[in-house]
A and B are shown apart, each in its own frame.
Chain A
Amino acid sequence: MTPETIFYSVAFPLLGVFLGLVYKGIDRRISARLTSRIGPPIRQPFWDVGKLLLKETIVPKNAIAWLFNAMPILAFASSLTLLLYIPFGVLKAPLEGYGDLVVILYLLTLQSLAMAIGGFASGSPFSSVGAQREMVLMMSYEMPLATVIVGFALIYRSFSLTTIASTPVWSIVSPLAAFGVLLLFVALLTVTPAELAKLPFDIAEAETEIAEGMLAEYSGRNLALFYLSDAVRGFAMAAIEVVLFFPFTLSSILGLSLTGFALYAVEALWFLLKVLIIYLLAVTLVRTSFGRFKIDQASRIFWVHVNLVALLGLALIWVGV
């Protein structure tokens, strides 16, 4: 651990929280525009968090208090840790070399798991139903998600995100395998709303049927932590997709030869733009256009359709590489 690493490990999470909230704001604004509303200002999520921090934090009488209070912290911490594994444009990931795609898979799972455990611990029937749904959903989408990661391991013979980001996947595979990669991309895009608990897969947090499900009993500071981890996770998930599928740097596309600060600034903005596009495609557009699925429908979609697409993609890569 050099001082540089430590600086990054502090700066990245702060930046990640900020960006996560900004992206959430943009998401809400664009979603409103899509339904011909004006929508909240982009700073709205910051005010929401500020307000939640001012509210009373209630621990229900029949909740398991320590578990109930620990889970929002776990979710928030794991989402911040997630950020440390993502190479940011041309910057290296701060924890480069300490973990890879498999760790990312586990950190993503850990967050959903923390929410589910928090739901069970809050002792409310609504939360329990929500937590059970979340577990079922997790079991459904983990398989396609793992398939995508195995596909990348097959191509690169490495799980490291920095290795993957350094050479765009499309440039090293045969046309057949490229088609496989495309299928993996489709599978990952479908998994994204489920992973982030957004419509049409926000079955575990359905506010109309089960009173916000797992979050039903959370208030004040605990809810703010979940809110933040949700925002960070949205940003991180889109960033992972960019790193996996669109790692092209702007200077390589336009043939620029930038150096020093200009390079970092331009590439960072370019990276953020790519993340924004993926975010809008995978989350905003989808959540505005669809209604909520039932849990059995969602389960079938992932186990049958998305899984088929992902496995076919994997097979093509296996044959093609």
Chain B
Amino acid sequence: MGKLDNFKRSLWVFHASGGSCNACDIEIVAALTPRYDVERFGIKLVGSPRHADVLLVTGAIPRDFADKLRRVYEQMPEPKAVVVVGNCGTSGGVFYDSYNIAGPIDEIIPVDVYVPGCPPRPEAIIDAVVKAWLKVEKLEKKLEGKEE
């Protein structure tokens, strides 16, 4: 099973929105519009973490949401990658000292790609998802190596 190319051409993305102000989410949706059209690269938004290869997380994560996010991450089948979109998720952003924030996302689940910006441009998001590809491929190679 050396068909790694498949990941290069078909990547399904699940979007989990934490305490985001919705601007980052809108930018993600913008990537699906005719102007950017990520579907031409085989990137597709799916509705269930079980179908996903990449998890997009937006927003600062409130305390209540932290364990839910962990569960969403655990529900994704291997190989998987996580992309954080926006300043809120990468560092806490404007909410960095809020009493209700569980911290930057990489303190909750392992993050592979950070996209800074408030909100980042759709090009930056597409670029991040493409970078996540490399990670997914590397993981898949490792899994294959274990089987041999």
A219 within 8 A of B: yes
Q: A37-B39, A38-B40, A207-B48 are in contact. Are A54 and B1 (CB under 8 A)?
A: yes
- Closest CB in chain B relative to A39 CB, distance in Å: 6
B46 within 8 A of A: yes
What are the residues of chain B within 8 A of A212 when measuring CB–CB? 46-48, 51
Q: A212-B47, A215-B48 are in contact. Are A32 and B77 (CB under 8 A)?
A: no
Q: A51-B10, A207-B48, A212-B47 are in contact. Are A39 and B1 (CB under 8 A)?
A: no
Smallest CB gap from B1: residue in A: A54
Q: A51-B53, A55-B53 are in contact. Are A37 and B47 (CB under 8 A)?
A: no
The residue among B5, B7, B9, B47 with the most chain A CB atoms within 10 A of its own CB is: B47
27 A/B residue pairs, CB under 8 Å, sorted by A: A28-B39, A35-B34, A36-B34, A37-B33, A37-B37, A37-B39, A38-B37, A40-B40, A41-B42, A44-B9, A44-B10, A44-B42, A47-B42, A50-B3, A50-B5, A53-B1, A55-B79, A58-B75, A58-B77, A207-B48, A211-B48, A212-B47, A212-B51, A217-B50, A218-B50, A218-B51, A223-B50
Q: B21-52 toward A: CB 8 Å interface, digit per residue (1/0)? A: 00000000000011001011110001110110
A223 & B47 in contact (Cβ 8 Å cutoff): no
B39 & A39 in contact (Cβ 8 Å cutoff): yes
Task: Count B interface residues, CB 8 Å.
Answer: 26
B residues sitting closer than 8 Å to A (CB atoms) are 1, 3, 5-7, 9-11, 33-34, 37, 39-42, 46-48, 50-51, 53, 75, 77-79, 140
B77 & A56 in contact (Cβ 8 Å cutoff): yes
A171 within 8 A of B: no
Smallest CB gap from B11: residue in A: A51
Smallest CB gap from B35: residue in A: A37
A54 & B140 in contact (Cβ 8 Å cutoff): yes
What are the residues of chain B within 8 A of A51 when measuring CB–CB? 6-7, 9-11, 53
B39 & A216 in contact (Cβ 8 Å cutoff): no
Contact with A40, one of B1, B42, B53, B140 (Cβ below 8 angstroms) = B42
Q: A39-B40, A217-B50 are in contact. Are A48 and B34 (CB under 8 A)?
A: no
A13 within 8 A of B: no
What are the residues of chain B within 8 A of A220 when measuring CB–CB? 77
A32 & B39 in contact (Cβ 8 Å cutoff): yes
**A307 to B53 alpha-carbon distance, docked (Å):** 42
- Closest CB in chain B relative to A196 CB, distance in Å: 18
**A219 to B53 alpha-carbon distance, docked (Å):** 11
Q: A46-89 toward B: CB 8 Å interface, digit per residue (1/0)? A: 01101101111110000000000000000000000000000000
What are the residues of chain B within 8 A of A47 when measuring CB–CB? 5-6, 9-10, 42
A219 & B51 in contact (Cβ 8 Å cutoff): yes
- Closest CB in chain A relative to B55 CB, distance in Å: 14
What are the residues of chain B within 8 A of A257 when measuring CB–CB? none
Contact with B78, one of A36, A38, A50, A56 (Cβ below 8 angstroms) = A56
**A50 to B1 alpha-carbon distance, docked (Å):** 10
The residue among A44, A50, A54, A58 with the most chain B CB atoms within 10 A of its own CB is: A54
A208 within 8 A of B: yes
What are the residues of chain A within 8 A of B34 when measuring CB–CB? 35-37
- Closest CB in chain A relative to B5 CB, distance in Å: 8
- Closest CB in chain B relative to A214 CB, distance in Å: 10
Smallest CB gap from A122: residue in B: B50
- Closest CB in chain B relative to A57 CB, distance in Å: 7
**A48 to B7 alpha-carbon distance, docked (Å):** 8
Smallest CB gap from A218: residue in B: B50
The residue among B7, B10, B48 with the most chain A CB atoms within 10 A of its own CB is: B48
- Closest CB in chain B relative to A169 CB, distance in Å: 39
**A39 to B9 alpha-carbon distance, docked (Å):** 13
Smallest CB gap from A205: residue in B: B47
What are the residues of chain A within 8 A of B10 when measuring CB–CB? 44, 47-48, 50-51
Using a CB-CB cutoff of 8 Å, which residues 204-263 of chain A contact chain B?
Answer: 206-208, 210-212, 215-220, 223
Smallest CB gap from A28: residue in B: B39
- Closest CB in chain A relative to B144 CB, distance in Å: 9
What are the residues of chain A within 8 A of B77 when measuring CB–CB? 55-58, 219-220
- Closest CB in chain B relative to A77 CB, distance in Å: 22
